[in-house]
Chains A and B, each alone.
Chain A
Amino acid sequence: MKIKVRFFAILRERAGAAEITRDIGDGSTVADLWQALQQDFPKLNVAGIRLLYAVNQNYVSPDFKLSDQDEVVFIPPVSGG
């Protein structure tokens, strides 16, 4: 299935891309996708970073199962305000 991934903030700089499409096997979780992306983009592995996961603009848990055409964003600790 095809997943749209958008990168923001430090992860956009590390990936060198704002948006990609990634093929991943059926039944994969959002945590599986993160593992796969770290192979594709080794620089995404920011030491000590703790991420939250968002699918289709809602926070989800790491074991959330993805569906074809989902939009996934990995969220570093936020710092708005």
Chain B
Amino acid sequence: MFRVTNEAIDLQELVRFVSDPEAGAIATFIGTTRNHNDGRKVIALDYDGYPEMAEKELARIGEAACKQWKICRMAIVHRLGPVQITESSVVIAVSSGHREAAFAACRFAIEEIKRTVPIWKKEVFEGGEIWIGTQTGEPLAQKDEG
């Protein structure tokens, strides 16, 4: 399951999807909207994305993870549109026979999402709004937006 959505993400749906009789572990990662960034008081994040390509890139991340670790199943869902404080912007679930692979693949997936998937966040803060990652700097700059 590799998709983008304008709806709230249901963690349990991903966990159910990766559940597997061969699995001894399921690792999940949830990216959430926090109320501050870079000294600004954040009101919400508003995500834009190139949906067709974003889903292809998410699937590519899944394939890369399967080559690198012995994992059973993987699911990534990224939200687009406005995401309020404390809500989830991205959820990753990975199942594997043993915990090491699930943790590692989960970490790999979120780092790759931040590097390659065509999704952009606009930060709406008190006094303005700004596209994150569009300023001068290296392409695909890693921002501390965890």
Q: A residues touching B (Cβ–Cβ < 8 Å)?
A: 6, 8-10, 12, 46-52, 54, 57-59, 73, 75-81
Contact = CB atoms under 8 A, between A and B. Distances in A.
Nearest to B111: A81
Contacts of B54: 80
A81 B113 contact: yes
Interface residues of B, number: 37
A47 B145 CA distance: 23
A76 B131 contact: yes
Contacts, number: 96
A46 B145 CA distance: 22
Main DSSP-derived SS at the B contact region: mixed
Contacts of A49: 134-136
A48 B53 contact: no
Main secondary structure of the interface of A (DSSP, over half): loop
B135 A48 contact: yes
**Closest 10 A/B residue pairs (Cβ):** A48-B136, A80-B119, A79-B133, A9-B120, A57-B53, A77-B133, A79-B132, A50-B139, A81-B114, A10-B131
Contact of A8 (B56, B120, B135, B136): B120
A9 B52 CA distance: 15
